[in-house]
Structure 1
Amino acid sequence: MVFLNHHKLWEENASWVPPEHPNVKLNTDGSWRPNTRLMGTGGVIRDCVGRWLFGFANSARTGDPLKAELTAVVEGLSLCWNVGLRNIICETDCGEVIEACESLVSLERWQVYANLVRALKELLSRNWLISIRWIPREINKVAHTLAGWGASSSVDYVVWHKAPTFVLEAVEWDVMSSMDIV
């Protein structure tokens, strides 16, 4: 276990946990390559038994780590909305994204990312049930793999209705590890 000020942050053997029905779970991640300054985004939407519903990835020519993380959440929530999903648990391994969602102060701290933060807050204000949670990077493997693919590809936004082969191992690991806790 890892603690901060006597509060448990996460278990070292933590695993991906499917959402309770009727929720779906959106896991997102951003990737940034400092040597090329390219960024990628990725995410996966799964149901209460861990079944793949949608996955996405995107690449961008410029960016930074926080822009990639914020963009991934905005893209993932937009996909959920556009396909009619209305009960969402969104998980990200970026604490700053959670801070941006919860911030009631002006966008001054977020000046560089103002458009993304506005888009995120607009999505959150829609008529749906949504919660955004922080998770450790170790249990965000599928989204991490998709975001890495986005950062290394030249493909604009792509949506998969079935898991692409390059992410199958991570998907299977999540499903198997979630069975241990059910």
Structure 2
Amino acid sequence: MISDRSPLFCLEAGSPSRFSSWKPPPHGKVKVNWDASINPKEKCIGVGIVARDSRGEFMGAQCYWLLLDTDPRTAESLAALYAALFSKSFGFLEVVFEGDASQVISDINSPPPHFSKAGQFTKSVLSESKSLRFVSFVHAPRELNVVAHVLAKTAIGRKLNFCWREEVPDCISNLILMEKEFHP
């Protein structure tokens, strides 16, 4: 049996090219970072989600691998939906959602008509987040979303669907520690 800390579960993150300066959420809130990655050759996407509290403490993570031939906007919109569902499943009530897809964040904050696949996912994100006491969707550049990006790439590389509730996966443990130490 493979434990959730096994290196088989994650691709190695390596060193970020620039030090990530992820910012924690305000006191009492949870920040949920999310990202999607696409492999057009294999017609699949990976989704990475990670949650941390205002002290930068790891609260959980999830990877999804899906056979889906789609465009980046739709993949990122689906990832945002999975982040909302993840937050509800963990019982988070006050959440700052952060992703690096600026168009998707804009779609969520100012919803367009919901005719496209991405629009349908955006509509679902809004519906799923209504039960939260506090919700905010903010854009972050890729270098501030490294942990979720590594998890999305891991999902594709390992064809992985997995949830971590207590132990930090090895592939992101150093990044989590670096970001936590940077914001004591």
Instruction: Report the TM-score, using the length of structure 2 for normalisation.
Output: 0.82
Runs of 4+ aligned residues of structure 1 deviating over 3 Å after TM superposition are: none
1:170 paired to 2:165: no
The amino acid that maps onto 1:16 is W
Q: Please give the alpha-carbon distance, in whole angstroms, between the structure 2 residues aligned to 1:131 and 1:21.
A: 14
Separation of aligned partners in 2, 1:116 and 1:14:
29
Specify which structure has the bigger relative contact order, considering alpha-carbon pairs within 8 angstroms and separated by 6 or more residues.
2
How many residues are aligned here?
165
Q: 2:74 aligns with which of 53, 61, 67?
A: 67
What fraction of aligned residue pairs are identical, expressed as a percent?
24
Partner of 1:19: 25
Which 5+ residue runs of structure 1 have no aligned equivalent? 1-11
1:97-136 correspondence to structure 2 within 5 Å: 97-108=104-115, 111-136=116-141
What's the counterpart of residue 43 of structure 1?
Answer: 49
1:56 is the counterpart of 2:50: no
**TM-score, normalization by structure 1:** 0.82
Unpaired runs of at least 5, structure 2: 1-17
Distance 1:105 1:95 in 2: 14
For 2:156 and 2:53, locate their aligned partners in 1 and report how far apart those are by CA, in whole Å: 26
For 1:37 and 1:171, locate their aligned partners in 2 and report how far apart those are by CA, in whole Å.
Answer: 30
- Counterpart CA distance in 1 for 2:132 and 2:61 is 23
| Structure 1 vs Structure 2 CA RMSD | 1.8
